Amino acid sequence: MAVTSPLPEDLLPMTPAMFNILLALADGEKHGYAMMLEVEANTGGSIKMGPGTLYGSIKRMLASGLIEESDERPDPALDDERRRYYRLSGLGQRALHLEAERLEHQVSVARFKHVLDGSA
Amino acid sequence: METSPNAPRSLILSIRLYQALLAIYPSSFRREYGWQMLQVFGDCCRRALRQAGLPGLLRLWSRTLLDAVQSALEEHAQRGVDMSKEKFIKLSGWALMLGGLAVVLGWVASTRPEYDRHNALSLPIDRYINVAELPLLVMGMLLLSVGFTGLLVRYGKTAGAFGRLSLGLAMVSGVVSAVGMVGLAIYDSNPWWSMFFFSLTFQFLGATLFGVVCLRRQMLPRWNGLPLFAGIWVPLFVVISLIVEQNSGTWVEWPEWVFYSIWFLSLAGLTGLGYLLQSDSQPAVMPAAAG
């Protein structure tokens, strides 16, 4: 059964969980726990995903073609070979780029309105 | 999931409890991700114990319980929505096929003369055909609207704003056209005829515009030209008739084969589109709000 890929613009704006998972995968493939740690670190601990939220998001992002499962497995001596690794797809890279641009624009509006220096 | 023989009892107990907790998720989700979730939770437990001991583990549990309940509810809801959407899309595929057929049969019925035993052209069966005309046309247009709603549910997210607007036009126009048809049957006056006729045209125009989007975006699994083929004949006929009327000053009387061609081409397109829709009924799963 065919699953139609949406356009990257159709996926915006993203939820914080989705954006942060994509951001965690931006520099290479990772397994679930590594993604969870990176999201926590990147958000200063403000987003702490549990396993349910993490894998629910992964399921939906796989279905919409934003990420894909990596076929390569690490050396079993270094890691459990049953762990699944995920990476960004082409659609995921474009969607992440667009969302980052969108957020950047919002920050520039906030800066223009002096929100960031507290004089608003 | 295996744990080291030297693992603290709190870790072993936590992993066993979480394994039992996974039962609250839908079985398909559990089969696909259960082991991975257990693995991640085990890693989280080890980290919590290493960093903050038992209090850290308890804090992790309080967060995890909340996460489990929330995400399990989300998965069950998503599963329910996907299943009912899938069923609706399948049915709407059939609605497109039957709607097209009903409209064509209704139109064929409208070409038959009123039953009159003294008229050699009138057949005894016309007695029933005359009665069937209105229900067939009304039902046909409403079924087509259901079909276009199914297309919107299935392809709305990938069709973009213009595609969604086109399908919305087709849906609404079908309902308005059916109302116009009923009004025409009761009052037999020009405004009702215009309402019926132009709404019918807009219904097929909506399908045509959606067809243009399909051709541009190539979003159907196959036969991307089909919506355009199904939709274009009625609006094309109306535009040509209006141009001819503009130039000649009278509404042109087209031969009957023109109408037959228009309706049978439209029916062929709608049947193909309905078949495609009901065989491609799995809605595209989009990332839902999470975290």
Tokens 């009892």 correspond to what residue?
B9
Rounded Cα gap, residues A83 and A74, in angstroms: 9
For chain A, percent of residues with pLDDT exceeding 70? 86
- Higher per-residue confidence, B210 vs A76: B210
Mean pLDDT of B245-257: 83
C-beta atoms of A3 and B282 within 8 A: yes
- Higher per-residue confidence, B288 vs B48: B48
Mean pLDDT of B67-93: 86
- Higher per-residue confidence, B109 vs B103: B103
Amino acid letter, B279: S
* Residue-level pLDDT at B285: 46
Residues of A in contact with B280 (CB under 8 A): 1-2
Task: Give the ipTM of the model, two decimals please.
Answer: 0.86
Question: What are the structure tokens assigned to B29, written together?
Answer: 């989700």
Question: What are the structure tokens assigned to B206, written together?
Answer: 């909506």
Residues of A in contact with B290 (CB under 8 A): 15, 17-18, 53, 56-57, 60
Taking alpha carbons only, the member of A53, A43, A46, A34 closest to residue B67 is A53
Number of domains in chain A: 1
Residue A66 pLDDT level (bands cut at 50, 70, 90): very high
Residue of B nearest to A16 (CA): B291
Q: Residue B191, preceding bond cis, omega within 30 degrees?
A: no
Q: Lowest mean pLDDT of A77-81, B137-141, B153-157, B204-208, name the range.
A: A77-81
Residue A10 pLDDT level (bands cut at 50, 70, 90): confident
CB contacts under 8 A, B 37-66 vs A, are: 37-41, 43-44, 63-64, 66
Measured between CB atoms, which of A51, A80, A83 is closest to B41? A51
Q: What's the sign of the alpha-carbon dihedral B147, B153, B155, B157?
A: positive
* Residue-level pLDDT at B288: 40
* Residue-level pLDDT at A118: 65
C-beta atoms of A2 and B37 within 8 A: no
Residue A51 pLDDT level (bands cut at 50, 70, 90): very high
Measured between CB atoms, which of B64, B219, B287 is closest to A61? B287
CATH of the domain at A48: 1.10.10.10
Residue A69 CB-density burial (10 A; 0-12 exposed, 13-18 middle, 19+ buried): exposed
* Residue-level pLDDT at B287: 42
C-beta atoms of A50 and B67 within 8 A: yes
Residue B109 pLDDT level (bands cut at 50, 70, 90): confident
**What is the per-residue pLDDT across B12-30, written as a single tens digit (0 to 9) for each?**
999 999 999 999 899 999 9
For chain B, percent of residues with pLDDT exceeding 70? 91
For chain B, percent of residues with pLDDT exceeding 90? 45
Is A45 an 8 Å CB contact of chain B?
A: no
Rounded Cα gap, residues B89 and B167, in angstroms: 14
pTM: 0.59
Residues of B in contact with A53 (CB under 8 A): 67, 70-71, 290-291
C-beta atoms of A15 and B44 within 8 A: no
**What is the per-residue pLDDT across B213-239, written as a single tens digit (0 to 9) for each?**
999 988 888 889 999 999 999 999 989
Residue A47 main-chain phi, psi, to 5 deg: -115, 110
Mean pLDDT of B245-262: 84
* Residue-level pLDDT at A82: 78
For residue B289, count other CB atoms closer than 10 A to its CB: 11
Taking alpha carbons only, the member of A100, A77, A81 closest to residue A26 is A100
Residue B44 pLDDT level (bands cut at 50, 70, 90): very high
Mean pLDDT of B251-260: 84
Residue A98 pLDDT level (bands cut at 50, 70, 90): very high
Residues of B in contact with A36 (CB under 8 A): 40, 44
C-beta atoms of A51 and B288 within 8 A: no
Mean pLDDT of B260-286: 83
Measuring CA to CA, how many Å separate B131 from each of A69, B136, B165, B179, B182? 60, 9, 35, 18, 13
Rounded Cα gap, residues A83 and A69, in angstroms: 11
Measured between CB atoms, which of B39, B70, B287 is closest to A18? B287
C-beta atoms of B290 and A57 within 8 A: yes
Query: What are the DSSP E strand ranges found in B18-138?
Result: none
Q: Does residue A119 form part of some domain?
A: no
Rounded Cα gap, residues A21 and A66, in angstroms: 10
For A67, the domain range is: 12-112
Residue A8 is classified by DSSP as G
Ranges of each domain in chain B: 10-74, 83-279
A38–chain B nearest CA distance, Å: 13
Residues of B in contact with A2 (CB under 8 A): 221, 280
- A1 within 8 A of A90, measured Cβ to Cβ: no
> To 10 degrees, what angle do helices A51-63 and B27-110 make?
40
CB contacts under 8 A, A 73-102 vs B, are: 80, 82-84
* Residue-level pLDDT at B183: 87
Is B245 an 8 Å CB contact of chain A?
A: no
Taking alpha carbons only, the member of B209, B183, B208 closest to residue B195 is B183
Amino acid letter, A70: S
Residue of A nearest to B41 (CA): A51
Rounded Cα gap, residues B267 and B102, in angstroms: 9
**What is the per-residue pLDDT across B143-200, written as a single tens digit (0 to 9) for each?**
999 999 999 989 888 888 899 999 999 999 999 998 988 888 888 788 888 888 899 9
Contacts of B132 (CB under 8 A, 6+ apart): B105, B106, B109
**What is the per-residue pLDDT across B55-65, written as a single tens digit (0 to 9) for each?**
999 999 989 99
- Calculate ∠ Cα B220-B288-A56, nearest 5°: 105
Measuring CA to CA, how many Å separate B20 from each of A100, B15, B24, B25, B252? 39, 9, 8, 11, 75
